[in-house]
Amino acid sequence: MKKYILVKKDSLTDFQQLTGGKCFNSEKMVLLGINVPEFIALTFHCMEDFIIENQLTDPLNKLVNEKKFDQINKLFTEARFNIATEDNIFESLRDEGLLGSNLAVRSSGLDEDGTLHSFAGLFSSYLYQEKREDIVLSIKLCWASAYSERAIAYRIKNEMPIHGIKMGILIQRMINSDTAGVMFTQNPIQVTSNKTVVIEGLYGQGEGLVSGEFDADNFIINKETFGIIEKLANKPLLYKKCATAPGIEKISVETGLQDKSSVEINNLILLTKIGIDLEIKTSLPLDIEWAIENNKIYILQMRPITTLPPAAYYNPEINGREPILWDNSNIVESFNGVTTPLTFSGTRKGYAIVYRQTCRFLGVPEKLIQDHDYEFNHMLGMIQGRVYYNLINWYKLLCLVPGNATNQGFMETMMGVKEELHDKHKSLFDFVKTAPKYTFFQKINVATKLFINFRRINKTVDEFLQNFENIYQEKRSLDFKKQSLPQLVNIYSELETKITHNWMPPIINDILVMIFFGICKKLTEKWILGDNIQGLQNDLLCGEGGLESTMPTKFLMGLADKIDHGDPAVRELFLATHANSLWNECHKNSKLKMIFEEMNIFLDKYGFRCSNEQKLEENDLTDDPSFALSNLQSYIKMKTYSIKDMEEKEKKIRSDAETKVKTHLGGIKLIIYFWVLKHTRNAVKNRENLRFARTKSFGLYRRLFREIGVKFRELDLIENEKDIFYLYIDEILDSTRGCLPSLEFKNLIDARKKEFEKYRQLNDPPERFITYGSTAVSFKNSILINNSDLLKDKVRISDDPNLIYGTSCSPGVVEGIARVVKDIHEAQGIEGEILVTYRTDPGWVPLYPSCKGLIIERGSLLSHSAVVARELGLPTIVGVHGDIFKKIKTGDFIILDATRGEIRINVKEKA
């Protein structure tokens, strides 16, 4: 038999199955001995039968499908309520002593207030309802709110069904609160610790807080000591019972109370104890709504906080608490954005090989190298598809090098990191105290090695490049398509042995670059006075010549010269054709034969070039020459193809810089300076040529693994040849050697592709952050990573009128065009802009998926809108200082750094 109404004496199981989150949690709190206002609960059968009896199913589904949400309220309110059910509701209200009282009628969705989805503020509630007709109307409107635009948008975002929604109703005695608010039993912003409770409160009803309309007092209470950190708000208005109609109205707060705390200390402590008690009994961190009437505390609602890591994260016996320091400030230039598993695993393996060689060359004993095998193999990490340095392991390895642990420059680098850390993290660097000790003679041995290699560096580099070129041309000439899979794997192993394991000359040269560039910089700063010293040093390095990396550009410039001074008809056709279709046109149009032939030579020599050259998954110029062709067109249009002019310009810059040096220096200083400069230039030139060799090697690896992918596809191991990039290097190699426990590559790749596609939708993690214990839980929870951002509070105070600060609410960094609106109607039709407004309420939620970011001048970190923004991952800043309507205009190009709470307005860029 269907149950339509439940009261406190009914079973908790019935509440859970029939009435929804609010009702279930209210009954649960009653059983736990919490002071909850008297209530009855309507089961979802009431709504279900109401819809069936009034034949609303088809029209309701039609309105939802057609997104005609404005007509749904009317559909419900014009339908008739079953008289018998209505009578039973009011009999139950009478039996529970609620009839004749002011009541709150609250929606209670069956999938609301769970551990996965909060639906915070997305359903309707109606306060101070007393008359029968008002209560009945409120029930209908609560049901209708299950199909509101904001609720349906939330369901779609979370891949939940949008038809056949089940909803109960909580009818609760209205608390005529003097003070009300919300309490989080765990800080939802500072999530790396679970040691504090956050309470926000204001005068009157809590509606102004949860809607984000009013600013509220903020209190952070330590769970162990009950120490309180308070941040009081100005509270000029409050919500109270409307004098003339059902519901609430705004009234003014007494002037003397506006800036005082709305919650007394003893009540803050009592609330905290209630919150801790509920958290312990439910084993969940909770979002609690509370009210105080005549100094008596009532708990109105509770729901799990859905945006926190699992509870086991905070248990060191399960997760551990060992910190790891991550940084991508340099490596992001080589591996920008999401990087596939093949590229990452190959790079990680290469780093381990190369830096073992470095340590051997610098005199680190073999036993120490073996003892630090873990650090060599874990110099890099992959965080949400991005490549990061594991800085602790890097520093541990640097400490192995003779002289580094006691070197002042090394220690300054170490301290530069420490300055970004809390005192409790300084123990991260205790390993410096136990760094290997080297004798004076061992240090002299390292210095002697460096000196000998410095003396013969050009010969060393030339020999390396010649050897590399021999290997490169030999393997490049192979037709990989004619090689079997084991043969291709053997080619990779051979390249690893002959190239990666013999990468010593680039290492030696990089050390010389560091030494001479550093000395040159110091001498420039010390001996040459004036502005733009850094610019002077850069100018002195111009015009060196002999850089192989400039040859592709010079080839195109030479071709541009030929086209511009050749047949005018060919020139016109070439420039008139869009770059994306130009290569096909060159194929089929005989007029463009010369260009086609020249470009084939270019692609044969330099087709391996591309953006993100170290990422094997990237397309190169051989795949799509349109980038080179577009550049070629630009050279012709702008007449910027004279190699002679370019070289003369560089030589003039260099000559002018040298003249400036000569005007400042003379005698022995000038001799010393130009000697250092000479070797700086030489080392930098060598570095560029060695890096170009590295680029060529990656081009070769790219071709090799693409053909391996083809073989895997032909052997039915994978679906598509490009799927090879979603396997780790050892998975590929071991698949031919009988060392893998499973060959279910297709399922594995499918799962990884889905995961990496999600990573591509995420904002980049912070530049530098710390994880604690097992990294997997932190990498899976962006809120933990963003909360551990070590640079987010290192904000430079600026008088720049185009830089605005607010409070980070939901982290992320986005840039785009501002859409400034004063109400929701002005926001209609938003498409990818950053929404800027005075305030929001839950009704704005349907706009969130269409926004790039959200800026709210007013608002609380704990408002419903803020909760949903965090849950949906929308970069959001609240509490912006100053009048944003004066500072930001629609059409302004802005950069929203919601991780740091910064908004930068670039007024030069417009939509």
**Long-range contacts made by residues 537-541, C-beta under 8 angstroms, separation at least 24?**
539/653, 539/654, 539/656, 539/657, 540/654, 540/657, 540/658, 540/661, 540/677, 540/681, 541/654, 541/680, 541/681, 541/684
Rounded CA gap, 905 and 870, in Å? 24
Question: What is the pLDDT averaged over residues 559-563?
Answer: 92
Q: What does the pLDDT read at residue 424? A: 61
When pLDDT is cut at 50, 70 and 90, the band that residue 358 belongs to is confident
Please state which of the ranges 251-255, 273-277, 310-314, 353-357 shows the lowest mean pLDDT: 310-314
pLDDT above 50 (res 408): no
Q: What does the pLDDT read at residue 412? A: 40
Q: What does the pLDDT read at residue 414? A: 42
Question: What is the pLDDT averaged over residues 522-526?
Answer: 88
Q: Which is higher by pLDDT, 341 or 423?
A: 341
Choose the most confident range, by mean pLDDT, from 265-279, 382-396, 608-622, 831-845.
Answer: 265-279
Rounded CA gap, 425 and 788, in Å? 12
The fraction of the chain above a pLDDT of 90, given in percent, is 53
Q: How many residues does the chain have?
A: 911
Q: What is the mean pLDDT of the chain?
A: 87
When pLDDT is cut at 50, 70 and 90, the band that residue 506 belongs to is very high
The architecture in CATH of the region 5-173 reads: 2-Layer Sandwich (3.30)
Question: What is the pLDDT averaged over residues 295-311?
Answer: 91
Rounded CA gap, 451 and 229, in Å? 60
Q: What does the pLDDT read at residue 441? A: 84
Question: What is the pLDDT averaged over residues 414-438?
Answer: 64
Please state which of the ranges 72-76, 92-96, 669-673, 881-885 shows the lowest mean pLDDT: 881-885
Q: What does the pLDDT read at residue 114? A: 53
Q: What does the pLDDT read at residue 554? A: 84
The architecture in CATH of the region 789-910 reads: 3-Layer(bba) Sandwich (3.50)
Q: Are 128 and 246 in contact (CB under 8 A)?
A: yes
Each residue of 603-652: pLDDT tens digit? 998 888 877 788 999 988 898 888 888 878 888 887 878 888 878 877 88
Domain parsing of the chain, residue ranges: 5-173, 179-306, 323-443, 549-651, 789-910
When pLDDT is cut at 50, 70 and 90, the band that residue 433 belongs to is confident
pTM of the model: 0.76
Rounded CA gap, 739 and 745, in Å? 14
Nearest to 361 by CA among 460, 494, 262, 270: 460
Q: What does the pLDDT read at residue 678? A: 94
What is the per-residue burial (b if ≥16 Cβ within 10 Å, else e) of 333-362? eebbebbbbbbbbbbbbbbbebbbbbbebb
Q: Which is higher by pLDDT, 545 or 279?
A: 279
Q: What does the pLDDT read at residue 418? A: 42
Helix (H) or strand (E) holding 772: strand 768-772
Nearest to 177 by CA among 207, 144, 210, 132: 207
Q: What residues contact 82, with CB distance under 8 A and at least 6 apart?
A: 49, 50, 53
Q: What does the pLDDT read at residue 805? A: 84
Q: What does the pLDDT read at residue 432? A: 76
Each residue of 114-147: pLDDT tens digit? 556 666 667 889 999 999 999 999 999 999 999 9
Q: What does the pLDDT read at residue 284? A: 92
Q: Are 105 and 142 in contact (CB under 8 A)?
A: yes
- Tokens 């009261």 belong to 7
pLDDT above 80 (res 207): yes
CA atoms within 13 A on the CB side of 640: 9
Please state which of the ranges 120-129, 154-163, 282-291, 900-909 shows the lowest mean pLDDT: 900-909
Pairing of strands 813-821, 834-837: parallel
Identify each DSSP E strand in 50-166 by its residue range: 103-109, 125-129
Q: Which is higher by pLDDT, 305 or 345?
A: 345
One DSSP character per residue, 280-313 reads HHHTS-EEEEEEEETTEEEEEEEEE-SSSPPGGG
Q: Are 722 and 738 in contact (CB under 8 A)?
A: no
Q: What does the pLDDT read at residue 417? A: 46
The packing angle between helices 504-527 and 457-476, to 10°, is 140
DSSP symbol at 146 = T
Rounded CA gap, 757 and 621, in Å? 24
Question: What is the pLDDT averaged over residues 522-536?
Answer: 73
When pLDDT is cut at 50, 70 and 90, the band that residue 834 belongs to is very high
Q: What does the pLDDT read at residue 898? A: 80
Each residue of 728-759: pLDDT tens digit? 999 999 999 888 888 899 999 999 999 999 99
pLDDT above 70 (res 907): no
pLDDT above 70 (res 420): no
Helix (H) or strand (E) holding 252: strand 248-252
Q: What does the pLDDT read at residue 531? A: 57
Q: Are 191 and 783 in contact (CB under 8 A)?
A: yes
pLDDT above 80 (res 296): yes
Name the β-bridge partners of 229: 220
| Topology, domain 179-306 | D-amino Acid Aminotransferase; Chain A, domain 1 (3.30.470)
Choose the most confident range, by mean pLDDT, from 123-132, 819-828, 867-876.
Answer: 123-132
Please state which of the ranges 75-84, 114-123, 307-316 shows the lowest mean pLDDT: 114-123
User: What are the structure tokens assigned to 76, written together?
Assistant: 């419900």
